[in-house]
Structure formats: structure tokens, C-alpha cells
Structure 1
Amino acid sequence: MDEQFTRDIAEHFTRPWSQRRGIESIDRNAEVVLVKVPLDRLSDVLAEVAIESQRNVIGAEIEVSGAFVFAYQLVGHPWSIMVSGLLDAPSILQSSELAQLSKQLGQPVIRLLVSDTACEIGYDLFEGGELVEYFRGSDGELTDNSHEYEIQSQLYLLFPYPDDVEEDDDSEAQQTAYFWSRRRQITAEDISNVWDFPHQLMRDRDAFDPAIDSNYLLGEDFPNSGRYRVQNLGFTLVLGYEENGHSQEITSIPDLARVDYFRF
């Protein structure tokens, strides 16, 4: 691997967490909720409806069962983040609750959906107790589920990879997107690429998804019921192999201000 290229990768991987914005990784299947309030405000609301709550659980043991949520905040970021863990339980991150949360706290809420398995990405933006923006995108065909919100989204067919389209074959789009908004009108050129569009929304909102989920916080044994020690071991990048055959590894540890735990 080129030495300069390796240095560039290492520099990007270890850049300060407080300065990061957008979406850190799309190579996963995840549902993430971001709320633009300090963690104390979000945790106070969650504690009112949880059957168990624990603050500042990094390094502590917790009992995992049923449906639960981790809420955390990174140092230098205005948004708090929720990620759920579900053990044979329905999702607790329902649209109606997220809309109500945006009204109760008086601040925007973003639900981000990422699936590298299905090659899909999307988001729902709530403000003042209602949905104000909806987006779903895919590298292939995509089913429009906007009717669940009683809205009518617009279909966009995108060609972000022109080199991959065979000559004289424009019958199928390389990407499919659905978009609806109370606030703005956009064109296919504005979306450009379904993976870049949510990333830009997050950056415009000064928000960041660090790709920290329950598996990261609980370790490889999750998702089994039991007791777990909450951890923050960092993300490790393997850059290649040196002449002696040993791999070159770099670890970047997220600067978590705090992690709170809620069971429902």
C-alpha cells in the first residue's frame, strides 16, 4: 500500500471525534435516533417511561432483557443519540413517539435507517410534533412506504454511476429514491446519490451518527440475555502487513461524554 495513501487513511480514521459530522459508516444495519438536546434532558424524558434506568454505565454491568435503549452523547456535539437493543420485543422507536418527543423537547428529531444488506438508506425528520421530511433511497428497486405517514412522496430515478450504465441502456435507474418535505422542493440533481443525500442533511444540521450501537457497547456476545459490562474499546483499522508479517493496526476511541441505559 502506498505510504502517503496509508498516512491519509490513518489521519482520517483518527480525526477528532468532536469535529466529525454526517454519517460515519453505512456498512451496517442500523436504526439510530438523534435528538438535538443535551443528554440530561433526553434521559430525564426516557426515565419517566422506563421500568429501569441507569446513568453513566460505561464500565458498569447491566442486566439485558426485553427492549432497551442506550442514550449517549459525544463530547463537542449538540445532538444526543439513541440506539435500541431488542430481545424478542417490538420496536420502541415508533414514529408517533418520535414525533411526540420532538414536540415535548421543542427540538428536532432524526431517525436514520441504514442497511448495507438491503442496500438501502433513509431518514425521517420530526419537528414540533410532526413529520417534516421523509427520504428513502436504494441502489436498486425500492418499495415506497410513505403511505404509512399518510403522505405522498415523489419518486426519483438517479444515475450516479454513469460508467456502469451500458451504452443505449437507460431503461433502469441505478438508484431509486422517494422524498417528501413540508419545507423544501428538490430535484434529482439535488439528491445526486442516495448515500450522499442523508449524509449532507446530517452535516447541514450539525449532526453526527458515529456508528456506535448496542453491539459495540456490549461486545461480541450480544444479543443474548444476561449481564454485560458496557464498554468503549474503540474502532480498530487494519492497514496492512509489515515486512515482518505483523498487521499494522490503529485504534480510535470515541470521546463519549456519557452513556445511559433504559429498559422498557
Structure 2
Amino acid sequence: MKTMLIATALMALTAGAGLSQTVRMGTEGAYPPYNFINDAGEVDGFERELGDKLCEMTEMTCEWVTTDWDSIIPNLQSGNYDTIIAGMSITDERMQVIDFTQDYFPATESAYMALNDGVDITSAVIAAQTGTIQASHVAEGGATLLEFATPDETVAAVRNGEADAVFADKDYLAPIAAESGGQLVMLDADVQLGGGIGMGLRKSDTELKAKFDDAITAMKADGSLNEMITKWFGADAVTF
């Protein structure tokens, strides 16, 4: 059955082989290990490797574009790039304005990080990045939301005492806490949000969506997507 799935997906991928094109991949470049800028000044991370692989499979050329998170959807709609591949969770609210491929990363937990484990997250000041599912979750609760444009700023707000805790993807926060030498701690209050992470596209780009969906299906079927997830997020990462 798995062999049939791979064969079917690969046939769909090669059906439009004559339509070779350049695809501009929009990302933030500030959310490791999903995406970040390396020492050479280039986009790097899990999504860079994945995006390049998907373009290779669909016989297209990737061109990487970085943008601020708070303008990432408007810039897609304006045509500044063709996809969003930036750790963006699939939500009903976002699907009202853009489309998504199937998830290329399973739904994972969001988490809180603070200077100590005595923070009451129900009434504390919580930092979160603007326009994220984490910011929306805090806003709907009893805590005070403090929004910032970048993930780095949310962590800095905790370090300097401006916020009691930061709320973000656990995959992003856990390495920061581990490397802090005990200055930052993860709170035992994980929350499941979103429906997995997918690639955002304009609703009109149905052919492009289909090609990437077929490629993701093939990577799930042959296990290469799980291998890539484990490479970047560790052996304990949630996989398909």
C-alpha cells in the first residue's frame, strides 16, 4: 500500500514536468529550528531544507525571500512571494484569507517559559509574538497579553522583567531554556493549539498547491519527511 501511495504521488509530480518555474518561498528567518539566518547570511533550518527538497521533487526552483511576521500574509497576497513556509499553523481564521497545503509538520504543543516556575499563567503578563495562535490564546484568557513583532523580543521581555512568561511553540522555547544555564525554565503548562503546520498559498494558486501536496504526500509515504523532522527537532519530536 505504501509503495502504491509513493508511486501515485510521484506520477502526479511528474505529470507537469514541462511547467518548470521559479517559486518564491516566503519565510521569517527568525524562528529556529524552523527557519533562521545562518552565519553566511542565508535562510537555513528545517523549512529551508524541506522547501528546497519540495522544489526539487516538483522540478521547480526555490527563491527564498524573508519578511517580517506581521506582514507575512499581506505580502503573500500582494504577490511579493508565492508561498509562506514559516512555521505557520493551519487555522480556520487564516484559511478565510489564504489556502494551505496539507500539514508538513504535525500539530505540536505550545509552552510557557519564565525566569522561575512560580508564575501563575492565568493572571500573569504573558509575552507572545503578534499574529500568532499563541497571542490569540492568551488574549482569550485572563492573563495580560504583551505582543512583540519578533520571537526574540518576546524572550527578551522575560529576561528583562517586562513580562512574567513567554508563550510560543515548545520546539522554539525548549532549546532556549536548555541553553540558558538555568536562567530560564519551562513551565508545566503545555497547550495543544492549531492543526499542524502547512505551506500558505494564495487561494488562486490551486495548481501550485496540488504539486506541493503531492510532494508532501510522497515524503510522508517514504519516511523522508519524518527523517528530516528528527534531524532538526531531535529523536523525541512528533512525527507522522
Pair in the same fold by TM > 0.5: no
Greater C-alpha radius of gyration: 1
* TM norm structure 2: 0.26
* TM norm structure 1: 0.25
Q: Decide which structure has greater strand share.
A: 1
